[in-house]
Amino acid sequence: MASDTSPAPAKQPITLREVAAMAGVSVATASKALNGQGRMTAETRQRIRETAQRLGFRPNSLAQSLLRRRSFTVGLLTNDTYGRFSLPVMSGISDALVDAGVSVFMCNVEDDPRLAQLHVEAMLDKRIDGIIASGKRIDRHLPVDLANLGVPVIYAFSQPDPDAIAFVSDDAGGARLAVEHFCRLGRRRIAHVSGPASFAVVNERAQAFRDVLAAHGLPVSEPLLGSWSEAWGHEAVGKLFDGPTLFNKKGEKPDAVFCGNDQIARGVIDALRERGLGVPGDVGVIGFDNWEIVAEATRPPLTSVDMNLAALGREAGLTLLSLVGGQPAAPGIRKLPCRLVVRQSCGRPPGG
């Protein structure tokens, strides 16, 4: 006997009328309760919502959009093709928007003005509620004009337009956390190895590095600047240990290295190991970015400054929601604090 292989009939979605009947109210009352509108007791509103949840009712998003003149969609533009910075930012944005029923529509514009403009036009065609612009560095603007679009625009980890709202990490504050931590550990000859001077964050961190050392009465050495790579970190160790001393005429070498990113730090640690120097016994190392796939795989695991990009994205998302809801927000750049994630590469304080 042949078996019946025909597909099971698709389950019909629960309707608003069924929710209303089960809750013992009119369709109009059920609709108002689920949309947060109308006048009714809190008990009635809660009963209707619980009934809808129990039945698995899903409101028609298109109908809601037409009713409220909103798409419940936010556009995220980025040129961070690798996703190192944009993905944590997007995670925070999504976290802020999910409870409001808003989705994120992400577009990678690379560094192509034509592609960026096409994505912006597509977002506007979809009637998005607003745009968040994010990038791979805070001192470069995305290759597209986002002014006068008719929707709110927030910048997160990207250079903003004048009079726009932007959220960035406090890079100088993050550098201070790292160098202060070395000082608490009793390190006294602290070097700094970072990326290209053409990056604004490199100069901000370097100045914070100098300021903390000066405040502690420690010798201030000029940072070694190169590329954002392990190879540069490895090369920099040769300059630190084979070249002229950075600290005084006694030939003393660094007992700590603060690095501009985690890749540089890993190169530094590898080069120190090759020289027979222990980390953190002989030299402590701290990175920047807290890129966990790098920091946790380093031997020893790397202490690093975390820029709190998810929290940054969440603040950007909440601010955009506020603007969409008609609440004003003052323009300007908001610098959000970093945090130091302590692992094994920097050592313990004296007596610790």
Q: Is the pLDDT of residue 273 over 50?
A: yes
Q: Is the pLDDT of residue 195 over 50?
A: yes
Same domain as 319, residue 279: no
Q: Is 181 exposed, middle or buried (0-12, 13-18, 19+ CB in 10 A)?
A: buried
The whole-number pLDDT of residue 339 equals: 97
Q: Is the pLDDT of residue 351 over 60?
A: no
> CATH number of the domain that 263 lies in?
3.40.50.2300
The whole-number pLDDT of residue 52 equals: 87
- The per-residue pLDDT of the chain, averaged, comes to 89
Neighbours of 293 (CB within 10 A): 8
State pLDDT tens for residues 161-178: 989 999 999 999 999 999
Question: According to the 3-state scheme, what is the secondary structure of 102-133?
Answer: CEEEEEECCCCHHHHHHHHHHHHHCCCCEEEE
pLDDT band, very low/low/confident/very high, at 145 (cuts 50, 70, 90): very high
Same domain as 181, residue 295: yes
> CATH number of the domain that 42 lies in?
1.10.260.40
Same domain as 283, residue 198: yes
Same domain as 180, residue 155: no
Q: Is the pLDDT of residue 10 over 80?
A: no
Same domain as 175, residue 147: no
The whole-number pLDDT of residue 28 equals: 77
Q: Is residue 213 part of a domain?
A: yes
Same domain as 165, residue 179: no
Predicted TM-score of the model (pTM): 0.79
Range of weakest confidence among 1-10, 229-238, 239-248? 1-10
- The residue behind tokens 């120190």 is 272
Same domain as 177, residue 140: no
Same domain as 189, residue 290: yes
The whole-number pLDDT of residue 67 equals: 42
The domain containing residue 102 runs over which residues?
A: 68-169+309-338
Q: Is the pLDDT of residue 41 over 80?
A: yes
Q: Is residue 350 part of a domain?
A: no
Total domain count, the chain: 3
User: What does the alpha-carbon distance between residue 230 and residue 340 come to, in Å, rounded to a whole number?
Assistant: 21
Range of weakest confidence among 238-242, 250-254, 260-264? 250-254
